[in-house]
Amino acid sequence: MRIVVSDTSCMIDLRKASLLEEFLRLPYTFVMPDVLFEDEWLCIDDREKATLQQRGLEVRELPGASVARAQRYFNEHNLLKLNDCFALTLAEDIEDSILLTGDGPLREISQGNGVEARGVLWITDELEKHDTVPLPQLYEALQLFHDDDLVFLPRNETLKRLRRLAKLLQ
């Protein structure tokens, strides 16, 4: 089973659309660096964090050498936050993993380092492919993403999925 290393941006968007629980049911192992889990998820309480872990989200601590490499990436790439670099480093440390991020510069740098990077729209495609979410719920989630100014997804790709789902729902 492939491992998906997630930063918090995609997880926050999935939570906003009530897809987080379904996301964790996909046939992947989901991992997040401990620093991101503790420092960036201030919008959720400890009970919800515990529930996410019970449902399969693994929280991993990076070894010292990986922390040093993350710091080096942070110093080299002024567009990245340090926590982005932790996610990238963890994805590099796990063979054949996928980095899940909504951050454009992080995706570009990770792909340049040979790490496959995906985003929220890939997750919605996977939810549909694995029949994890009823199509009306998926349509509503995509509509929410489209309408929310704080969700940064490619507009044309989001619209393409909305139109296709609308036809399927007729």
Residue whose pair of structure tokens reads 């401990």 in the numeric block: 34
Nearest alpha carbon to residue 56 among 98, 119, 1: 1
Q: What is the pLDDT along the chain (170 residues), one digit of tens a residue?
A: 899 999 988 999 999 999 999 999 999 999 999 999 988 777 788 898 899 999 999 999 999 999 999 999 999 998 999 999 999 999 999 999 999 999 999 999 999 999 999 999 999 999 999 999 999 999 999 999 999 999 989 999 999 999 999 999 99
Whether CATH 3.30.565.10 fits 3-120: no
Question: In the chain, at which residue ranges do the beta strands (DSSP E only) sit?
Answer: 3-6, 29-33, 58-60, 98-100, 116-118
As given in the structure block, the two tokens for residue 161 are 């999925």
- pTM for the whole structure: 0.93
Domain definitions of the chain by residue range: 3-120, 131-169
